[in-house]
Structure 1
Amino acid sequence: MVNTIKGLIGEGQTQEAISQMAKFATGQSDLHNAVIQISGQFAQANFSFAMNMTDATANQAAISKINFALLNLLDQMQLQGLFSGDRPSPEEEEGPRSKLLFLASNPVDMAVLQLEKEYLEIRKIFKNHRKKFIITEEFDASLDTLFEALDREKPQIIHLSGFSDESGVFLSNKTDRTSYLVPFEFLAPAFKMLRSSAECVFFNTGSSNLFAKVVSRSIRYAVGIKGIVHDHEAITFSSGFYAALALEKDYEKAFKMGRDLLANLPPGPPGKAGKNAEPEKPEQKFFLYQNGLCDEDTDTPDDFYVLKEEAASKGKK
């Protein structure tokens, strides 16, 4: 198996090599975390090249560095006897597959988002993990098709990308694909009905932190965003999140990987910062809520009615 993995690396099949190494490193905390870390770096390198943030030469240098790190890690794993018998650990044996439902809405009267690119990046990550994950999608989601997809697929992971504000999410009108705002409190009961099957909801839309907090009381994990998020930030975080999740189904570790990748991005959209611009500390936008709680977020209200009361109070002044 060691020679097989080395062959994969030599042939440029880095993702497959990472997947094979992750199987044998399961149960070895330090080594498995190292594989996940390298997987995140690989996802970031691919994303940066796809978004024209790096050229072909820089991308090849990054991939070469990643392959060198894999070979060093492979030597460590071999020294610890992880390839004895060439059998992966029991945790990696075939079992029930988890279903990820990718929901996207980009109404024609709103700015164009790179939702297809985000979807393709996620599909690429899970390409070598088809025995563990199934991906289904619903583009141009309207209220009807969103509800239908949730009921039909009954996914373990729900990913929603598009536009939202503090009051709700913008879905597409079925007739002309123009936008209409669906209040979060109207959507919340639909997600609550999935509490027996769903494990995690990822709202990759701006100002979705309150919705994530509320939904996480029914579905254990929910990722939400505080404030505005740019395309490159949304795709980078989701790439890191799912790259880690593909190797180990641990939502907290996956969230950390997404945030680590995001921390390495330059501030602002690609190409906007000048060459001599001073680097700024990235603003924390993504939050993971578990059972309605997040230690890092103490400002978000507990429910929708709090926001309404605050808005009404301001209106009276």
Structure 2
Amino acid sequence: MPEHSKYNLNNANFGGGFSGDKGTTIGGTLNYYPSTDDAKTAKHNDSTVKTILILASNPKTTTPLRLDEEVRDIDAGLQRAKKREQFDLKQRWAVRTQDVYQALLDFKPQFVHFSCHGSGNDGLLLEDETGNVRLVDAQALAELFKVFATDIECVVLNACYSEVQAAEIAKHIPYVIGMKKAIGDKAAIKFATGFYNALSAGESVEFAYKLGCSVIQLDGIPENLTPDLKKKQ
């Protein structure tokens, strides 16, 4: 979500961020956890409960992202929603490739949200075993989501220049949202907040996408046309 597509491998600078009720720092990456215990009491065996899985990655050699703020705002919106009992928020931080498929196996989510850097055709920037950049290209992601297509309704790639990955994933998943170009932290957070607020109010994915774009514009940010919704053909 930086204002450019390429990452900086020379100046490692990661730290700071939200220090809420249940924040912990692991390996230089701050994990944000919801401030309530609702997730513990969610009826996981109830088929009406839908899981939102957030996969966050900010390799130590890349520009810091406000990932903790994004997750905090998404969670706050879900807690206020009239249908909050129908959604369960799960998170994985400092995500490596193996963490992605393991989380999909563990949680069987209906919504998968990537919050990370993107670099167009080069791929999404996840992490390797040492916290450095591990690029994952569009075809690899598409093949992974093909395997889990039965469960997943929507994938959100909240990362710069992720339209390439979105187009490939949309061959297998009903709805995929990517970014046409670079998107700033503030716009990315506003979009995510509006999108999940609408979902937890019982609205459709298409309505939620439109609201997310509108929220960016309402805040006076000229990036409301950056998110792009693709539907499975």
Pairing 1:286–2:227 present: yes
Residue 126 of structure 2: aligned partner: 171
Q: Kindly provide the CA deviation profile for residues 257-300 of structure 1, in whole angstroms up to 9, marking residues without a partner as x.
A: 00111112334xxxxxxxxxxxxx656211111114xxxxxxxx
> 1:172: Cα distance to partner?
1.1
Pairing 1:115–2:70 present: no
Aligned counterparts of 2:143 and 2:55: Cα–Cα separation in 1: 17
Residue 273 of structure 1: aligned partner: none
SS of equivalent to 2:131 = coil
Residue type of the partner of 1:198?
A: I
Q: Kindly provide the CA deviation profile for residues 51-84 of structure 1, in whole angstroms up to 9, marking residues without a partner as x.
A: xxxxxxxxxxxxxxxxxxxxxxxxxxxxxxxxxx
Residue 262 of structure 1: aligned partner: 216
Residue 193 of structure 1: aligned partner: 147
Aligned counterparts of 1:282 and 1:107: Cα–Cα separation in 2: 25
Aligned Cα RMSD in Å? 1.7
SS of equivalent to 2:120 = coil
More strand by share: 2
Q: 1:149 to 1:265 in 2, by over 3 A?
A: same
Q: Which moved more, 1:127-136 or 1:200-209?
A: 127-136
- Higher Cα radius of gyration: 1
Please point out which of 80, 104, 117 is paired with 1:150.
104
Residue 115 of structure 2: aligned partner: 161
Q: 1:156 to 1:227 in 2, by over 3 A?
A: same
Please point out which of 198, 213, 219 is paired with 2:173.
219
Residue type of the partner of 1:223?
A: I
Aligned counterparts of 2:78 and 2:231: Cα–Cα separation in 1: 24
Verify the 8 A CA contact 2:214 2:224 in the aligned structure 1.
Answer: no
> 1:136: Cα distance to partner?
0.6
TM-score by length of 2: 0.75
SS of equivalent to 1:120 = helix
TM-score by length of 1: 0.56
Aligned counterparts of 1:118 and 1:105: Cα–Cα separation in 2: 12
Residue 104 of structure 1: aligned partner: 56
> 1:146: Cα distance to partner?
1.1
Aligned counterparts of 1:146 and 1:95: Cα–Cα separation in 2: 23
Residue type of the partner of 1:101?
A: L
Aligned counterparts of 1:186 and 1:161: Cα–Cα separation in 2: 18
Residue type of the partner of 2:63?
A: A
Aligned counterparts of 2:174 and 2:193: Cα–Cα separation in 1: 21
Q: Kindly provide the CA deviation profile for residues 233-266 of structure 1, in whole angstroms up to 9, marking residues without a partner as x.
A: 0000111111111101400110110011111233
After TM superposition, the runs of 4+ consecutive aligned structure 1 residues lying more than 4 A away are: none
Verify the 8 A CA contact 1:95 1:132 in the aligned structure 2.
Answer: no
Q: Kindly provide the CA deviation profile for residues 206-230 of structure 1, in whole angstroms up to 9, marking residues without a partner as x.
A: 1111211221121100111011010
Verify the 8 A CA contact 2:141 2:165 in the aligned structure 1.
Answer: no
Residue type of the partner of 2:128?
A: N
Aligned counterparts of 1:169 and 1:217: Cα–Cα separation in 2: 18
Residue 202 of structure 1: aligned partner: 156
Verify the 8 A CA contact 2:187 2:223 in the aligned structure 1.
Answer: no
Residue type of the partner of 2:174?
A: R
Q: Kindly provide the CA deviation profile for residues 3-41 of structure 1, in whole angstroms up to 9, marking residues without a partner as x.
A: xxxxxxxxxxxxxxxxxxxxxxxxxxxxxxxxxxxxxxx
Aligned counterparts of 2:224 and 2:49: Cα–Cα separation in 1: 35
Q: 1:130 to 1:169 in 2, by over 3 A?
A: same
SS of equivalent to 2:178 = strand
- Which of structures 1 and 2 has the larger relative contact order (alpha carbons within 8 angstroms, sep 6+)? 2
